[in-house]
Structure 1
């Protein structure tokens, strides 16, 4: 019987504030509460020591039966008002959120997202299944709404007057002379009659708060006259008029508790309504829409323009939107990176991704967007509604930040492995366009996102140990994840060097492979009596077009271009030396013409910028190749005139004002192993080998 009575009380309280006769329903509930509490006292004294209650079919009878207090009543009443206040608060948000007032300078995408949020919010003003309001015009809806609220106002006033007809006129109480409440019944009722009008944010929100105090006053008045014991020993006082009323302290305590419970639940319910309720919930749309709504909440509402109770509900909503965005946006962007797409895409559609890069791969843009989203979410967890910098660790949403840091750490690690794998694959295929688009553009774009990361140092606060256990555990977990993120960022920076080393290794191997197939056979260089050819052999331009031209078309980085040119020429020399090709004098002249063809090719290369061309022509490896060619013009034992060699080198180099004195040095001096190169002459002397670097300098 007690279980049944308790359920009946809960049912009545859950629905009474939505009825016209709410005061009568509260009176009935209080009568049942009084009977319920008396029965519990009777059962505990007479029967608790004699019987043990157990039931397999009705387990609720096993649970301990407790008294119904005013706290329990307030909890049930506040929960019954959660959903309707969610709709009213959303209506308030709609009035503040006006996408049509945005400036013309805003992008079309932001306007579309604003309309999307506006559409989402307006969807929940009336239930989607209701068609009555859709068929009515705005004027008819306003008239019907006003008439309905006036009727409710009259009904509520008549109920109050009926109960207090033996006391002082209610008009005297409304003036506030003997009332303990700051807001009168009349003002509370009339504030709901103007929802169609557009008010400022503070006035509209205050109207919602004040209207809820009406139900608290009805409850307090009814409890004080029917069940004064629920308010405690000093919970009521008798006015001069003889009327019994709740004391100011008790009324304030009950009102504060009711509002705190109500708006805490409103904040939690707002997440469900906005994200999941209706035919077109926000959850099925792009995560950026939820993120924009969250950022708008942060930027619009603060302690200066919003009551604390409403602000707490909006904070709960913002935190819920943040958790939703964290999971859904990361799933969306990370899913896009699972399939490699190296198609070039312009960053004009994402102008905030990079200040320097204008084009990258589709996969690179997906990684950059993912990192940007995570960095934004992380930075928002480093501030609060009241602090931009230096927020106390207790106020920071560290619980929400931990999964963000987990995903950020995993994303950076995944991106680094993807970069290394893709660049190695592309380098082996010598696909330089995609290679440098990943190694330079994608890497630069992603690194720009990570430069915006903000991590406050809370080491001193943690070491002091003045925070709670839960906050301490979360803070230490955050510090560990922050250190792992920083380590992965450093590894990503070092990955650039690894990518360059892979490129250099592949360049050397590929160059040797091309030379093995295109370089003339050794017998062709040993033929005698063949007149020298002024033109370079065809294999030179073929070699340059296959190896160097793709790099020139793909990047303008002079350091990389010089590195590739150096490796190519060194591979060229290495192939000649390892193959032990023997050169006649005519063949040495041909080889010298082949080496000089590299300069001609660089001068004629139109995609090569002038500054890069100038630096590449001054590359030391070109002088070394020329020095090898000139060394092969002499047989072992010949004395080389440094003056003639210098004059010949100067003729092959276009001098300008920036040329350094080292360029006047003979080309042969750039060859480190001169004796070994001289052994590659086809004609061998029988006499002792008299050639040495010292003799060269002396002559």
Structure 2
């Protein structure tokens, strides 16, 4: 017989015991309570975000202040309920651990209820974390900051207890509330004193940043009676002063000006105590039943603050900052907040200070140990002033109606240089100096990008207008005028060189600064831009000089090659690169520093290579000029040189009219060069190329010269000397060198060769005498005088251009010399 269904149910479905039913009922109640508390916590968090930084007076007629008291009362009730929830969770732990889960259905029900409980617990923890952060972020801006710190520590204690439940599944399981909320996609961790100090420090950043700017403004006052020459710098100083004053708060009462630092410190402490006592009395009226909070307040609110300054440079800046508030007073006021925190933590949550973090006195008083107090204070100050430096950057550069970032980069550079010159480790506390260094580095990065963008964009358009360097006296001493584009390139290179050199020093070192202290991260983009700028300038010079040479615009050509390039090279000479090869190879630096140092070395080598290429670009430009000169000279000669028929019609002695084309050629080709440059090497090169082109054209044209035509050609060649002698733009040294140019003797030699028919004997003495008479003012040694014909190679080929050739052998020799 088959079994009844009742028997089957009893066999396969085990009924829950009363203990198990009570456990599941407890879990469901906990889930409901946690959900309700989460909504209350989120509502309280939103309310606390409302009256942030309220500085209204304590008055029961003040609506916002009454709202703040209600929020405090709600917060106390939240703490009380959360304490009960924690106890319930701890009671639930052993029951969950002891529960037998042999039945699969019971196990499935257990896991389902447990997962929901873990999820709602996790969401409540996230809400508690947000409320703790909100309160800690606002507590130091309130008069009852001690009460708020105490409430925060109560919440932190509850939060840590709830995250540290002994049942391991509570600690290991967590849920994901939102993929866009980073803190919910990782396991919940306990809140430590480090986290509390971080939140408190960040809440004070903006206020201390404004206070520090107030101190800077007191120092950075431009002189009223400045000289006229310093008008530009004064204007930039006024811009910086205007930017800084946009964000300062008005001075406090005039009474504080008469107080010393010690008196202001005592007044500050007494003021805080009175405000906290007043807030305590009002809270007790509203919250008489909250015995735990009342007991805590009565125990801790009136205790003395054990204040020990950790400053190493006390009152050093008193003579520098003549204002209501100085840097030391800012540091000391922040230490007072830390002392309040340490005193509260030592009495309410001593475990946060770690082992041996609390010192107990015989009188029963509890205080943080000196070691713990110093460690917490230093950590707070480091976090605070590091963030103050970053906040300073945003305020000075961006947070105003007329931010410094929208003005000329020179203004930011002036402020940076002023910071370097004014603040030293000898007169400024290290914490404040670190914040100012962050500001200076940020200004340096801003100047690097903006100034290079400004200068480089200006060079994209070529402007060859003559520009006097009187308006740029720092560019060069030797060069007085350049092109407008050359001045822009020089300014760009000068700015990059200056920025690079500033990265080679530190606040404490001028030479030999340790590699770890150098701003390598800031220097790398500067070297990138410098390398690119040198490369771009070299390509621009090559392209522009080629264009000008083809148009034979010698004024601009030589202004670029001999003035612009010289000015730019003068800027690159000032580059400073310290050699850190030994430090890098030693391997005693960090990974980040090692990577940055190697990148710097690579960029330095590229800068040096491009600098060398820029020096060698002169040779390439010269070869282009020579090629264009030869082509252009041949083109001119093709148009103006007399034709063969004209040469055949010459049947009379040489006349001056025949030399017209010589003057035309030299006026078009040589005169622009003579007027543009005084470089003797270049002038001799152009003269040589023109002479060689002249001879080449004559030979390729196959002109047949009669004796009279040859005489005329020789006169045309000699006319070059007359042109050089009469040219007023030539200096005496250049004229002397050019008159001794070998190409002139070669041209003269061709003319004399064409005077003789093939087979004629040439008198070496007569030829030498004529050459000596023509060059009597050249101061040339007698042994260097020889017939001009000897400078002509391929004499037989030139003799083929002689008209009316004689029949017979074309033998021509210079061996038969008639000496008389």
Tell me which of 487, 495, 498 is aligned to 2:609: 487
CA distance in 1, matches of 2:689, 2:310: 85
Find out whether 1:115 has 2:207 as its counterpart. no
Q: 1:341 to 1:667 in 2, by over 3 A?
A: same
Find out whether 1:93 has 2:216 as its counterpart. yes
Identify the residue that residue 192 of structure 2 maps to in structure 1. 69
Find out whether 1:40 has 2:163 as its counterpart. yes
In structure 2, stretches of 5+ residues that fail to align are 1-123, 281-296
SS at match of 2:517: coil
Could you list the per-position Cα deviations for residues 391-443 of structure 1 after superposition, in whole angstroms to 9, with x for gaps in the alignment?
A: 22222222222222222111111111111111111111111111111112111
SS at match of 1:212: helix
Find out whether 1:5 has 2:137 as its counterpart. no
Identify the residue that residue 308 of structure 2 maps to in structure 1. 181
**1:601-640 matches, cutoff 5 A:** 601-640=723-762
**1:472-483 matches, cutoff 5 A:** 472-483=594-605
Find out whether 1:430 has 2:552 as its counterpart. yes
Find out whether 1:405 has 2:527 as its counterpart. yes
**1:374-523 matches, cutoff 5 A:** 374-523=496-645
Could you list the per-position Cα deviations for residues 152-210 of structure 1 after superposition, in whole angstroms to 9, with x for gaps in the alignment?
A: 6652142578999989998xx68xxxx461389xxx9xx9xx99x97269x93222212
CA distance in 1, matches of 2:528, 2:180: 45
CA distance in 2, matches of 1:474, 1:168: 52
Could you list the per-position Cα deviations for residues 635-675 of structure 1 after superposition, in whole angstroms to 9, with x for gaps in the alignment?
A: 2222222222222223333516x434356333222223333
Identify the residue that residue 156 of structure 1 maps to in structure 2. 272
Q: 1:352 to 1:51 in 2, by over 3 A?
A: closer
CA distance in 1, matches of 2:674, 2:469: 23
**1:92-491 matches, cutoff 5 A:** 92-100=215-223, 104=227, 107-126=230-249, 143=254, 154-158=270-274, 179=306, 181-182=308-309, 199=321, 204-239=326-361, 241-491=363-613
SS at match of 2:574: coil
Instruction: Tell me which moved more, 417-426 or 351-360.
Output: 351-360
CA distance in 2, matches of 1:616, 1:205: 73
SS at match of 1:384: coil
CA distance in 2, matches of 1:669, 1:463: 64
SS at match of 1:480: helix
Identify the residue that residue 19 of structure 1 maps to in structure 2. 142
Could you list the per-position Cα deviations for residues 546-582 of structure 1 after superposition, in whole angstroms to 9, with x for gaps in the alignment?
A: 0011111211111111111111111111111111111
CA distance in 1, matches of 2:131, 2:171: 27
- Partners of 1:23 and 1:159 within 8 A in 2: no
Q: 1:660 to 1:86 in 2, by over 3 A?
A: farther
- Partners of 2:554 and 2:676 within 8 A in 1: yes
Identify the residue that residue 801 of structure 2 maps to in structure 1. 680
Find out whether 1:541 has 2:541 as its counterpart. no
Could you list the per-position Cα deviations for residues 58-83 of structure 1 after superposition, in whole angstroms to 9, with x for gaps in the alignment?
A: 95555322222211111111001111
SS at match of 2:326: helix
Could you list the per-position Cα deviations for residues 307-362 of structure 1 after superposition, in whole angstroms to 9, with x for gaps in the alignment?
A: 11111111111211121122111211111122222222122221111222221122
CA distance in 1, matches of 2:275, 2:374: 23
- Partners of 1:268 and 1:313 within 8 A in 2: yes
Q: 1:56 to 1:279 in 2, by over 3 A?
A: closer
- Partners of 1:426 and 1:432 within 8 A in 2: yes
Q: 1:119 to 1:11 in 2, by over 3 A?
A: same
Instruction: Tell me which moved more, 433-442 or 497-506.
Output: 433-442
Could you list the per-position Cα deviations for residues 264-305 of structure 1 after superposition, in whole angstroms to 9, with x for gaps in the alignment?
A: 111111111111110111111112222222222222222212
In structure 1, stretches of 5+ residues that fail to align are 127-132
- Partners of 1:675 and 1:692 within 8 A in 2: no
- Partners of 1:180 and 1:247 within 8 A in 2: no
Displacement of 1:13 in angstroms is 1.2
Instruction: Tell me which moved more, 59-68 or 574-583.
Output: 59-68
Identify the residue that residue 129 of structure 1 maps to in structure 2. none
SS at match of 2:579: coil
Could you list the per-position Cα deviations for residues 70-122 of structure 1 after superposition, in whole angstroms to 9, with x for gaps in the alignment?
A: 11111111001111111222222222323317964863322222222222222
Find out whether 1:670 has 2:797 as its counterpart. no
Q: Indicate the RMSD between aligned Cα atoms, in angstroms.
A: 3.1
- Partners of 1:168 and 1:241 within 8 A in 2: no
Instruction: Tell me which moved more, 225-234 or 106-115.
Output: 106-115
- Partners of 1:536 and 1:597 within 8 A in 2: no
Q: 1:694 to 1:460 in 2, by over 3 A?
A: farther
SS at match of 1:67: coil
CA distance in 1, matches of 2:529, 2:228: 34
Aligned residue-pair number: 671
Identify the residue that residue 813 of structure 2 maps to in structure 1. 692
SS at match of 1:394: helix
Identify the residue that residue 57 of structure 2 maps to in structure 1. none
**1:540-559 matches, cutoff 5 A:** 540-559=662-681
Find out whether 1:599 has 2:721 as its counterpart. yes
CA distance in 2, matches of 1:670, 1:561: 21
Q: 1:380 to 1:645 in 2, by over 3 A?
A: same
Q: 1:550 to 1:183 in 2, by over 3 A?
A: closer
Displacement of 1:676 in angstroms is 2.4
